[in-house]
Structure 1
């Protein structure tokens, strides 16, 4: 809804963005009341066009501030460094807050010291926001609502982020969708090859075809790749054919080795080391903080080369596209992708790697609640065919008449869609545009609006330099690691500790047991028990001995279901416990795990030749013992492995088994947003006819009053003219009381009677207008009261959640037969054993 709102309406809770105030095109005067824009209209995307100095950055910053206040996260691609200003918001507006950021040269030119200039800037900002009906409390609300984080791929200046640490397989939903998987493969391939200056054409480039097939091979199996594994797979592909040709014919080994060396040389370059550091490129991490708060993630690219920028943006767009396709559909705004200065990434004729994923996002993302906002200073930078998918255009001051014509041509397809918008009107409104003034064309509205942008809450410092980025992100680098990072680190430490403890235990057992001997003969096992052998991860020396030690392996599928909680999950457990010499130390609470990475696979059916075997304890040679172990597993899982879920009372949503609290909070808040938007739609539908009718009645009452006032003025003028003629005639005529004078006097009296009647008509019109205006005010009060009843959407971290414990169903339990799993240990000539 891009229209002025009543000052009495609290637009902060309406999902409306306060962009500025409408401007009267005829007079150029700013109209009272805020110009509001429905946040969900951004689901149909937007484009901002304006020359340097038009106020384009201010509009973009203001738009993102409104998104943050409304709890909408955003990924912001920032090639120039301007959008980092979002991190510069100072709720107290103290001069000392501004002092580190003001321009010393600007202060000197103004004849002031830096502290004096900082004080003047603070006063200017407080006065500026106050003029636009904002205050310090709104800046504080912005700071509380969202976290601003500046990321610097390929640099440690900000928060480092890498796309090369691993090529992780996408989500299962993407893998199952052939088109989605293909788009993700193509984007990742193009991004990688762009780094080394190789054409990533998916049809003509041999390099692109080979790498795409490698990714397709592993990802379709749900397997991740590190960059090292990728180089290895280039040298020795995991398949024999590409199309109908064998690999050697299509891409000979020598040529593949050259590609591998080229990628390896890039990785080995000291200047490239920063690309391998930092957090992995994960969209959920960019959108939400560990505590569930939305993030404005500014991806600063000003320090990168053109090739590096293209590579990163292409991979980023591919990741966003994969993330979008895993989200449930919604008509409410879920997140924003804001791209400042689209130049070179979405041209009208060329086809850079970034163009296809961007075009796909513009076509498909709206159904999943992702709004794309593109900004540029030159209309020639844009593919207008693709931008026909954009429902909102913000048009500022343009460089030349030719640019204006390009914009008009680009909008030709949407002219008339919004009603009341034609080319001549648009051309007139675009002419003589002032700074910070934009023409808003929204296909969801009846007509365009000319408006002036509001004063932004963040301090517009200008492009941030590398030292300034380091300064603003210094606190981030001191923050505790994210929940996912802690979880991964804890898991790694647990695995390492487990392996270390197992190795130490084996070493002590071998050193203390002087009578211990392995045997070349495999021990006899009970009938019906299957055997598997884990492979060695390290090749032993010739003097070393491989010793297999026995263990118990099982797979169990447990069903966690609760109709009242709306939970229905199957969880697979993979268990491995060593069997001791006397009685197996089967602690299933510790041994059963939900992550099969700890146990890479079950192993093969054949052992290593020449290996020795530890003996089985006597109890493990009895069928009854294995049956007892098998029977106890279900009880252990039921008792020790309940699912701890979170539940939101309002929406009745329950977290998934493996969903993080932050992800669940974000999902829950989105449900609150959708409920709010639905309630607002119902209210609008309910009041729309009433408001239209009331407005029409006020309009007609105004018209009637105007007509009556005009008639009164006309009758009054005629009456006095008639009366004057009569008096003059009586005074100066030779015949004092002639018939003519008598008729004139009678006419004058009739005119006065008509004037009195007209006055009564005016009074009636005034009373009617007053009544209609009172009716309108009553309707507005009723509408406001209805809006006040709609609950304000809480911040994600403020949503109250209940903890719910759900145990596995005893009736739904799928337990595989137990397996005797032999684990290889390497015993060196010194008698020390280590896991093989």
Structure 2
């Protein structure tokens, strides 16, 4: 590891804080010297140089080359500027990043070099010392260093999970492959109690982790998949109301809130552990029958009275309805004049909203929410359920597989944000309240992986998804909850969340807005490396942050079963024979019945 004339390239001419300017020595004739049979390239942005200081070697990352790297002090010296500009291609700027004491590399610099200190190339042996894993038990290998295929790229699993991570890259840059490599290395590593919860909006990962994952999907059809049930009663009040079409003013919304609260208080007596009444709110995850709620409110709106403004004079039913099947009670219609029957003067004027609410409740696309299997409250018993929330969460993260995939591809796009946020909130709240138990996050940490995170973490939106992920980003590490965000649109991510990601994996991207977001998330002195992003190869990334010793350019391994785009293959489909036009009649039938296929189970049939 000693330094000799073969590796010498120049001298430091300026030191400003942790930045240095280096002028290459005139004796360096080749920018691609051969040392011990290995070809090295001098002056590559993102590569290393070293400065020997006695028993210590200080390392720096090159951030600039050429005339722009000339120190500002020389630029202001008009007598010398022309001479230096002629020599401008022989200048380097670099940022001090770490030092070697003995055989150990440490990030951070204790000794600052001085002007005229020698600068040397970094050899393969140096790189092995810099990038080598000190403790293989807490590291995973995700690829190799770009400029040396023999050097594996390691990341620290402790820092990657607890300090959060963002994987950012344009479409086709290898983002999904990068996420798959990281998760696969964790799943196949010596981590017997690993818990990874992957929120997958497009169902891209279902086939990748077979054998060590459990897939939950709406309308599960594949072997090994389980039905994804999300009880509506576990949603916060505001998120539940957003699912129904129509708007409510504050007074009407409060009316709904109070009605739901009354039913949750009443249904709480069926729980195994009954909470104190004063602790129950409309946001509490307590089962109640939404069919019965609709039926009761609808009945109240439609009641007619024999005498004006006398509630006790309610007219007799013409036809009895049914709460379970969402069939309204029928009363004699109110008179159009001033005579009997009279409308219910206490009605809240919410009939339009209730009609839209009923349409959602019978829509088959929402059956995973309003008919969630054994978590569906019984209307006749005021909300009693067969299974409680603990069994739902146990099914998601309490099984013996390291990875859980929640496939949201069958969920209507207009409610993706609410559902994704609710899923995250349910699990996070469980780990928060169980932090002192063995199944809590502190004793069995959990990693949330949010694929296509920009879809439900829009910057500036006050959604349950944004609020919950912000809380995890700020406080999750205290409770053993980590984040891995993956997105192709970094510019659309919530800034608070991105700023909390201790590790950033930046793949190829060309959009200026996305690049500026990445520049703001990595070490400020290294923002010149962002200029490399458009020229990265597919599967190549710049990793910066706490999970790696130093920022580095790496090439991810390629897994054979990497997630493919869910888009149809136009070149293949257009070569097939045209299908029969009889299918259009079937389309209309499915459309009107709110189904995607004839195989879906029929629910909520009216009698």
1:448: Cα distance to partner?
1.0
Q: Establish whether residue 167 from structure 1 lines up as the match of residue 213 from structure 2.
A: no
1:360: Cα distance to partner?
1.8
Corresponding residue for 2:428? 321
* Greater shift in the superposed pair: 331-340 or 153-162: 153-162
1:745-771 Cα shifts (integer Å, max 9, x gaps): xxxxxxxxxxxxxxxxxxxxxxxxxxx
Q: Establish whether residue 386 from structure 1 lines up as the match of residue 497 from structure 2.
A: yes
1:391: Cα distance to partner?
0.9
Q: Establish whether residue 434 from structure 1 lines up as the match of residue 482 from structure 2.
A: no
1:324-351 Cα shifts (integer Å, max 9, x gaps): 2123266677111111101231122233
Q: Establish whether residue 338 from structure 1 lines up as the match of residue 449 from structure 2.
A: yes
SS at match of 1:336: strand
TM-score, structure 1 as length reference? 0.38
Corresponding residue for 1:57? 176
CA gap 1:358/1:217 in 2 versus in 1, 3 angstroms: farther
Q: How does 1:559-574 map to 2 (within 5 A)?
A: none
1:386: Cα distance to partner?
2.7
Q: Establish whether residue 151 from structure 1 lines up as the match of residue 216 from structure 2.
A: yes
1:369: Cα distance to partner?
1.0
CA gap 1:59/1:79 in 2 versus in 1, 3 angstroms: same
Q: Establish whether residue 19 from structure 1 lines up as the match of residue 139 from structure 2.
A: no
Native 8 Å contact 1:45 1:372 kept in 2: yes
CA distance in structure 2 between the partners assigned to 1:286 and 1:461 by the alignment:
22
CA distance in structure 1 between the partners assigned to 2:547 and 2:250 by the alignment:
38
Larger Rg: 1
Q: Establish whether residue 423 from structure 1 lines up as the match of residue 527 from structure 2.
A: yes
Q: How does 1:117-136 map to 2 (within 5 A)?
A: none
CA gap 1:345/1:9 in 2 versus in 1, 3 angstroms: closer
CA distance in structure 2 between the partners assigned to 1:253 and 1:217 by the alignment:
23
Q: How does 1:344-493 map to 2 (within 5 A)?
A: 344-409=455-520, 411=521, 415=523, 421-424=525-528, 426-430=529-533, 432-443=535-546, 447-456=550-559, 459-460=561-562, 462-463=564-565
Corresponding residue for 1:81? 203
1:4: Cα distance to partner?
6.4
1:371: Cα distance to partner?
0.9
Q: How does 1:197-276 map to 2 (within 5 A)?
A: 197=245, 206=254, 209-210=257-258, 213=261, 217=265, 221=277, 224-231=287-294, 253-256=347-350, 258-275=352-369, 276=371
Corresponding residue for 1:191? 239
Gaps of 5+ in 2: 1-105, 108-126, 269-274, 281-285, 301-344, 376-388, 569-607
1:52: Cα distance to partner?
0.9
CA distance in structure 2 between the partners assigned to 1:78 and 1:211 by the alignment:
34
SS at match of 1:438: strand
CA gap 1:344/1:211 in 2 versus in 1, 3 angstroms: farther
Corresponding residue for 2:149? 30
1 or 2, which has the higher strand percentage? Answer: 2
Native 8 Å contact 1:317 1:354 kept in 2: yes
CA gap 1:204/1:258 in 2 versus in 1, 3 angstroms: closer
Of residues 46, 64, 71, the one that matches 2:165 is: 46
CA distance in structure 2 between the partners assigned to 1:446 and 1:272 by the alignment:
47
CA distance in structure 1 between the partners assigned to 2:461 and 2:132 by the alignment:
50
Corresponding residue for 2:396? 286
Corresponding residue for 2:405? 298
Q: How does 1:66-77 map to 2 (within 5 A)?
A: 66-69=185-188, 70=191, 71-77=193-199
1:35: Cα distance to partner?
2.0
SS at match of 1:354: helix
CA distance in structure 1 between the partners assigned to 2:360 and 2:255 by the alignment:
16
1:85: Cα distance to partner?
3.1
CA gap 1:32/1:204 in 2 versus in 1, 3 angstroms: farther
CA gap 1:315/1:401 in 2 versus in 1, 3 angstroms: closer
Native 8 Å contact 1:17 1:66 kept in 2: yes
Native 8 Å contact 1:188 1:318 kept in 2: no
CA gap 1:321/1:232 in 2 versus in 1, 3 angstroms: farther
CA gap 1:384/1:461 in 2 versus in 1, 3 angstroms: closer
Gaps of 5+ in 1: 89-142, 169-186, 238-250, 467-836
Aligned length: 360
1:62: Cα distance to partner?
1.3
CA gap 1:32/1:87 in 2 versus in 1, 3 angstroms: closer
CA distance in structure 2 between the partners assigned to 1:376 and 1:354 by the alignment:
15
1:311: Cα distance to partner?
3.2
Native 8 Å contact 2:140 2:156 kept in 1: yes
CA distance in structure 1 between the partners assigned to 2:402 and 2:366 by the alignment:
28
SS at match of 2:454: coil
CA gap 1:74/1:227 in 2 versus in 1, 3 angstroms: farther
Native 8 Å contact 2:205 2:563 kept in 1: no
CA distance in structure 2 between the partners assigned to 1:284 and 1:430 by the alignment:
42
CA gap 1:367/1:254 in 2 versus in 1, 3 angstroms: same
CA gap 1:376/1:444 in 2 versus in 1, 3 angstroms: closer
1:41: Cα distance to partner?
3.3
CA distance in structure 2 between the partners assigned to 1:53 and 1:339 by the alignment:
18
1:148-196 Cα shifts (integer Å, max 9, x gaps): 12212366564212223x636xxxxxxxxxxxxxxxxxx5324322322
CA distance in structure 1 between the partners assigned to 2:251 and 2:504 by the alignment:
35
Q: How does 1:91-110 map to 2 (within 5 A)?
A: none
CA distance in structure 2 between the partners assigned to 1:77 and 1:197 by the alignment:
26
CA gap 1:195/1:295 in 2 versus in 1, 3 angstroms: farther
CA gap 1:364/1:36 in 2 versus in 1, 3 angstroms: closer
SS at match of 1:167: helix
1 or 2, which has the higher helix percentage? Answer: 1
Native 8 Å contact 2:490 2:518 kept in 1: yes
SS at match of 2:396: helix
SS at match of 1:343: helix
CA gap 1:266/1:199 in 2 versus in 1, 3 angstroms: same
1:286: Cα distance to partner?
0.8
Native 8 Å contact 2:518 2:530 kept in 1: no
